[in-house]
């Protein structure tokens, strides 16, 4: 599995390093305690909050809860853009959410990254497309798959073998959707 707390910290650290203070986060809205404990979105939101505190930005913690869909990102961005002091950066909890953020920002007549920087999570194929060029967290999917296959074969070979959890460190892939905040 991916270390989602570390991945969120990478995004916040990158944005804070560029000079952003008002960094907002769009998380997936979930109320079921069991699902909250299992789903990566809750760990990403926790990682965002922890990283904001670690960078001395606790007063700027700003979270919008919506769905992990393009429409959810669009709605979340509209909410953020309507704030009296809008954020200078948005950490979308998934790349698909970031697509909705990009749409809402453009519709508002603002530019990415000139007015607002945007970072995503998952490093999906479309994040690397030239026109999008989304800064995103890569979860080392190939390595996750390799480890999962190896662990499965080991369990099949020896059914008494205890289960194992492997946590991999994600990496940040900076692209053109993040830059220094506007003056």
Query: pTM for this one?
Result: 0.86
| 116 touches 85 (CB < 8 A) | no
| 40 touches 57 (CB < 8 A) | no
Alpha-carbon distance of 157 to 160, in angstroms, equals 9
pLDDT of residue 35: 62
Structure confidence by residue, pLDDT tens digits, 26-50 = 998 766 666 656 667 888 999 999 9
Residues 6+ apart with CB under 8 A from 91: 8, 11, 12, 15, 23, 24, 25, 26, 48, 119, 121
Q: Is the pLDDT of residue 52 over 90?
A: yes
Q: Are strands 89-92 and 117-121 parallel, antiparallel or unpaired?
A: parallel
Tokens 């007015």 found at: 115
Structure confidence by residue, pLDDT tens digits, 65-117 = 998 899 999 999 999 999 999 999 999 999 999 999 999 999 999 999 999 99
């Amino acid at each position: 599995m991916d270390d989602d707390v570390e991945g969120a910290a990478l995004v916040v650290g990158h944005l804070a390093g560029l000079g952003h203070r008002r960094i907002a986060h769009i998380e997936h809205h979930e109320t079921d305690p069991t699902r909250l404990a299992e789903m990566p979105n809750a760990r990403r939101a926790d990682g965002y909050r922890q990283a904001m505190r670690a960078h001395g930005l606790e007063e700027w913690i700003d979270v919008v809860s919506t769905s992990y869909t393009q429409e959810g990102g669009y709605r979340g961005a509209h909410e953020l853009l309507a704030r009296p002091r809008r954020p200078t950066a948005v950490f979308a909890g998934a790349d698909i959410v970031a697509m909705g953020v990009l749409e809402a920002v453009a519709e508002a007549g603002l530019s990415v990254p000139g007015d607002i920087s945007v970072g995503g999570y998952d490093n999906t194929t479309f994040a690397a497309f030239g026109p999008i060029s989304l800064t995103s967290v890569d979860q080392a999917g190939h390595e996750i798959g390799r480890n999962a296959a190896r662990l499965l074969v080991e369990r099949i070979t020896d059914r008494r073998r205890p289960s194992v959890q492997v946590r991999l460190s994600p990496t940040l892939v900076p692209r053109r959707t993040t830059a220094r905040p506007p003056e």
